[in-house]
């Protein structure tokens, strides 16, 4: 891995540390005030590198989703079929994550969701549950 690998960007490491502590955070630009996702080294709106992480309450609605039926990687294969969604946070940007603990057929656009967290090969990632 190299320094250009996004997993080594300090803001991504910080994002994952918050997730490991059970907090969903999202980037907010200190210069223009816009939020974005995923975390990156510069604001996509104004290219400022002055980006902070803000904690979300972790609630939102399903903005869009797809159900994955193909077992394309052993990490996720045992979980197929699963729902991969874009979630519009009530207090932040649209983020992505799986909707878990339900039949994927229960997921719909506009459905309310709440963040939860799951461990995937040693990394804690945000996921969402219906309700």
Other Cβ atoms within 10 Å of 104 Cβ, number: 19
CB 105 within 8 A of CB 65: no
Name the minimum Å distance from CB 8 to Zn ion: 22
Which among 18-26, 31-39, 59-67, 84-92 is the span making contact with Zn ion, rule CB under 5 A?
A: 31-39
Q: Half-sphere exposure of 110 toward its Cβ, with a 13 Å CA cutoff?
A: 0
Query: Residue 37 has which token pair?
Result: 């996702």
Stretch of residues binding Zn ion (CB under 5 A), selected from 24-32, 63-71, 85-93, 118-126: 24-32
| Triad 40, 107, 58: Cα angle to 5° | 45
Q: Which is nearer to Zn ion, 43 or 99 (CB)?
A: 43
Rank residues 24 and 29 by Cβ distance to Zn ion and give the closer one: 29
- How far from chain centre, in Å, is Cα 84? 10
Min separation Cβ 30 and Zn ion, Å: 8
- Taking residues 38 to 77 in sequence order and writing x for each that binds Zn ion by CB under 5 A, - otherwise, the string is -----x-xx-x-----------------------------
Burial of 128 per CB tally in 10 Å (0-12, 13-18, 19+): buried
How many chain residues interact with Zn ion (CB under 5 A)?
7
Contact positions toward Zn ion, by CB under 5 A? Answer: 29, 31-32, 43, 45-46, 48
């Amino acid at each position: 891995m190299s320094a250009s690998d996004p997993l080594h960007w300090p803001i991504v490491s910080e994002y994952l540390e918050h997730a490991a502590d059970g907090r969903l955070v999202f980037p907010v630009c200190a210069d223009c005030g816009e939020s974005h996702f995923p975390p990156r080294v510069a604001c996509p709106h104004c290219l400022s590198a002055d980006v902070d992480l803000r904690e979300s309450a972790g609630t939102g609605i399903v903005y869009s989703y797809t159900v994955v039926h193909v077992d394309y990687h052993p990490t996720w294969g045992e979980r197929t079929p699963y729902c991969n969604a874009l979630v519009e946070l009530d207090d932040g940007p649209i983020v992505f994550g799986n909707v878990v603990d339900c039949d994927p057929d229960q997921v719909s656009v506009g459905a309310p969701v709440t963040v939860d967290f799951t461990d995937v090969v040693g990394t804690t990632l945000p996921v969402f549950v219906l309700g």
